[in-house]
Amino acid sequence: MRHSLQIRTGQLGDADRLAVLAIQVWLHTDCTHGINSEVAQYVLSELTVERFSARPIEPESHILVAECNEWLVGYAAVKFGASCPSGARSTAELQTLYVQEHFVGRGVGRSLLMAAEAKARGQSASPLWLTVNAQNARAIAFYARQGYSQVGTTHVVLGQGRYENHVLIGADT
């Protein structure tokens, strides 16, 4: 079967699929030790259809959706007006770039990232910055191949846990 990839702006009707994809990818990449109460509470409170329904109407947010033969296979979320925690001069954050595992390595992530970078250049005239779990070697390698470099470290607090994240920034273009 031939795969026809399309990148488009997210819509309100995508909320249910975005929530399911976010849960699937987040659990697969960030919960490599299993699921505890803090993880369960985070998923049930943050990765919800209601939260994804609000995002397309938030003026500082932009969602890009990747579809393959009309099936949602990935998405990217960009937030404008978000200061980089390392002090770098960027205000466009790539909050999320998720690709369903079956589509990793097929150019979906790169296509979403390129669309997000174009949106950031057009709206804020600055490169994207992002945080990535310091244990996620595959994602770190992906961003390095795309020209991103580490400019700092930050931590995500989830319940009693504190998890190291690298702060990365794209090249100025």
pTM over 0.85: yes
> CA-CA distance, 131 to 153, in Å (whole number)?
8
Q: Tell me which residue of 136, 156, 148 sits closest to 39, measured CA to CA.
A: 156
Q: Which spans in the chain are helix H?
A: 15-30, 37-46, 49-54, 108-124, 137-145
pLDDT of residue 1: 46
Q: What is the mean pLDDT of the chain?
A: 90
The tens digit of pLDDT for each residue in 105-139 reads: 999 999 999 999 999 998 888 899 999 999 999 99
pLDDT of residue 64: 96
Q: How many domains does the chain have?
A: 1
Residue scoring higher pLDDT (39 or 166): 166
Average pLDDT of span 144-164: 90
CATH number reported for the structural domain that contains residue 143 in this entry = 3.40.630.30
**Three-state secondary structure of 79-108:** EECCCCCCCCCCCEEEEEEEECHHHCCCCH
The tens digit of pLDDT for each residue in 84-106 reads: 998 888 889 999 999 999 999 99
* Beta-sheet strand order (sheet of 71-80): 5-9, 61-68, 71-80, 92-99, 128-133, 161-169, 149-158
Parent domain of 90: 5-169
Other CB atoms closer than 10 Å to residue 53's CB: what's the count? 16
